[in-house]
Structure 1
Amino acid sequence: MPETLHGLTVLVTRPAHQASGFQHLLTEAGAQALLFPVVEVCQPDDLRVASAQFADLSRYDTALFISANAVAFGLKLLDAPQQQHLKGMTLGAIGKKTASALQQHGFTVQWVPATGFTSEDFLALPPTQALAGRRILIFRGSEGRELLADTLRERGASVDQVAVYQRICPKVEASHLKQHHEQRQLDIIAVTSSEGILNLLVMLDNPDWIKTVPLLLGSQRMLETARQAGFSGTLVMADNPSDEAMFQALTHWVQERQ
């Protein structure tokens, strides 16, 4: 790969266990990747509710996974008989990355959008339109939008949700970022969630200087969050928050600046 991003310094804010792919793309293209996770993904503090729901897994005929994290953390909480029952259920994934995570564990995914990665994309699937009699369990994080569950209920399904992971704001020393900025060694910040934008401000104690640094964003919702939070610098939009889309948007931005 040619070094199309030679000399560029990018702050990579993905959770630590998900950052290597984007970091590799950047370094292969000659950029410097500064790893600074602004979201930490971990198990919920209390697993008793999830354990009780999984003990009654046979009640459900359909399981939906909201993200790759839901797959990784959810499957860890299921014993062998529960995983076997899951394989006999109708399985849905909100996007292709989540579907791929399930497939890597040997599961067949019946419901997944051909394009897109949002609840709206999933809810546009023909099989989700009439759900009378369906008993659905949604694997998700401890917080998130209620659109998916609410809409499925409106379409006739019985829906429960189980929190199999939580996303928290890391507590780390962040003063080195200001030094990079002052030394003109921070060209752009790549952020892949609205939550990450807000966490970044919390971790840095909401300084004005960070709001002038260009942001590389993965959705329109993130752009709106950034503007509402006071970011006044350049906002570079990717088609979605995948590593490939973010890298493509970044490369295009650099080429336009030359």
Structure 2
Amino acid sequence: MPKALHDLHVMVTRPAHQAEGFRQRLELAGAVVQLLPVVEVRPLENPQAALTTLAQLSRYDTAVFISANAVNYGLSLLDMQQGEVLQTLTLGAIGKQTARTLQQHGFTAHWIPQQGFTSEDFLALPQTKQLANRHILIFRGQGGRELLADTLRERGAQVTYVDVYQRVCPQIDANQLKSLHEQQQLDIISITSSEGLLNLLVMLGNPDWIKTVPLLVGSQRMLATARQAGFTGTIRIADNPGDEAMLQALLHWVQEFQP
């Protein structure tokens, strides 16, 4: 009996160190998977500013982690004493995956959206509504959105960002996509961030053909980014960009076309 995704050709664009779990799920369901990372996550070239901020960690009562990468790279910059200080703070995690990553390192997140993974979901938590006299440190990658800090400040908090890693557009040849497309071996491209989608266009030189290829995206915001960038093909939206949600959205998409 054929598997649910039998011979479906899927391009996975997650960062290389985060792609294996999704690839395994897809292949178990019968898909043919190609990997093309469109975002590269790297340590900071110069971490001095981050180290200076983290040396004053005891000034804060709350620390918020934007992503699992923010957890892994942020904690790698802490010394033992700073780690002990972090244990005493109220910890926030934007999304359950970020909370799980904190837990793997021995930390418990106190503020976690039960649904969703965005700054908007985090800001909907009742704990974030009244923040007078709160001193909040936000762990993130360079160049993230300002919505979170701006809103927390409007609600009375004093907020500082600490950039603990960087995201860059990979310097790799993406033209394999065109060959796969021409050979009818590119059925859908999985996209897990708006930044990654825009990087893909840069890597390819923004050709028209890519904008007709179906996309699997992890949020309404990614859908809006794709449409604004000129994508006219089918776009399937998952509940979130996690592996399981993306797989379920893909399974539902395939089922719609089965007789």
Aligned to 1:63: 63
Residue 28 of structure 1 pairs with residue 28 of structure 2: yes
Aligned to 2:143: 143
TM-score by length of 1: 0.97
SS class of match (1:223)? helix
The worse-fitting range, judged by mean Cα deviation, of 114-123 and 33-42 is: 114-123
Aligned to 2:10: 10
Aligned to 2:218: 218
- 1:137-216 aligned at under 5 Å gives the runs 137-216=137-216
Query: Does the Cα contact within 8 Å between 1:212 and 1:233 map onto a contact in 2?
Result: yes
Aligned to 1:251: 251
SS class of match (1:53)? helix
Separation of aligned partners in 2, 1:232 and 1:109: 40
Once the two structures are TM-superposed, the CA of residue 147 in structure 1 deviates from its matched residue by: 1.2
Structure 1 residues 169 and 59, CA gap change in structure 2 (3 angstroms): same
Q: In structure 1, give the amino acid aligned to 2:189.
A: I
Separation of aligned partners in 1, 2:120 and 2:179: 41
SS class of match (1:207)? coil
Residue 120 of structure 1 pairs with residue 116 of structure 2: no
Q: In structure 2, give the amino acid aligned to 1:192.
A: T
Query: Does the Cα contact within 8 Å between 1:2 and 1:29 map onto a contact in 2?
Result: no
Query: Does the Cα contact within 8 Å between 1:238 and 1:246 map onto a contact in 2?
Result: yes
4+ aligned runs moved over 3 Å, structure 1:
none
Q: In structure 2, give the amino acid aligned to 1:70.
A: A
Once the two structures are TM-superposed, the CA of residue 151 in structure 1 deviates from its matched residue by: 1.2
Once the two structures are TM-superposed, the CA of residue 45 in structure 1 deviates from its matched residue by: 2.0
Number of positions where the alignment pairs a residue of Structure 1 with one of Structure 2: 258
The worse-fitting range, judged by mean Cα deviation, of 93-102 and 123-132 is: 123-132
Separation of aligned partners in 1, 2:133 and 2:2: 55
Separation of aligned partners in 2, 1:128 and 1:212: 41
Structure 1 residues 174 and 55, CA gap change in structure 2 (3 angstroms): same
The percentage of aligned residue pairs carrying the same residue is 68
Separation of aligned partners in 2, 1:136 and 1:2: 52
Separation of aligned partners in 2, 1:127 and 1:229: 36
Give the unaligned 5+ runs of structure 1. none
- 1:40-55 aligned at under 5 Å gives the runs 40-55=40-55
Q: In structure 1, give the amino acid aligned to 2:171.
A: K
Query: Does the Cα contact within 8 Å between 1:189 and 1:216 map onto a contact in 2?
Result: yes
Q: In structure 2, give the amino acid aligned to 1:120.
A: E
Residue 80 of structure 1 pairs with residue 80 of structure 2: yes
SS class of match (1:49)? helix
Query: Does the Cα contact within 8 Å between 1:9 and 1:187 map onto a contact in 2?
Result: yes
Q: In structure 2, give the amino acid aligned to 1:222.
A: M
TM-score by length of 2: 0.97
Once the two structures are TM-superposed, the CA of residue 166 in structure 1 deviates from its matched residue by: 1.1
C-alpha offsets along residues 209-251 of structure 1, whole Å, 9 cap, x if unaligned? 1111100111111111111111111111111111111111111
Aligned to 1:37: 37
The worse-fitting range, judged by mean Cα deviation, of 126-135 and 1-10 is: 1-10
Separation of aligned partners in 1, 2:148 and 2:175: 39
Once the two structures are TM-superposed, the CA of residue 123 in structure 1 deviates from its matched residue by: 1.1
C-alpha offsets along residues 143-201 of structure 1, whole Å, 9 cap, x if unaligned? 11111111111111111000001111001012222111111111000001111111001
Once the two structures are TM-superposed, the CA of residue 2 in structure 1 deviates from its matched residue by: 6.7
Separation of aligned partners in 2, 1:232 and 1:156: 43
SS class of match (1:248)? helix
Separation of aligned partners in 1, 2:88 and 2:185: 52
SS class of match (2:245)? helix
Structure 1 residues 2 and 129, CA gap change in structure 2 (3 angstroms): farther
C-alpha offsets along residues 62-107 of structure 1, whole Å, 9 cap, x if unaligned? 1000111100100001011111110111111011110110011100
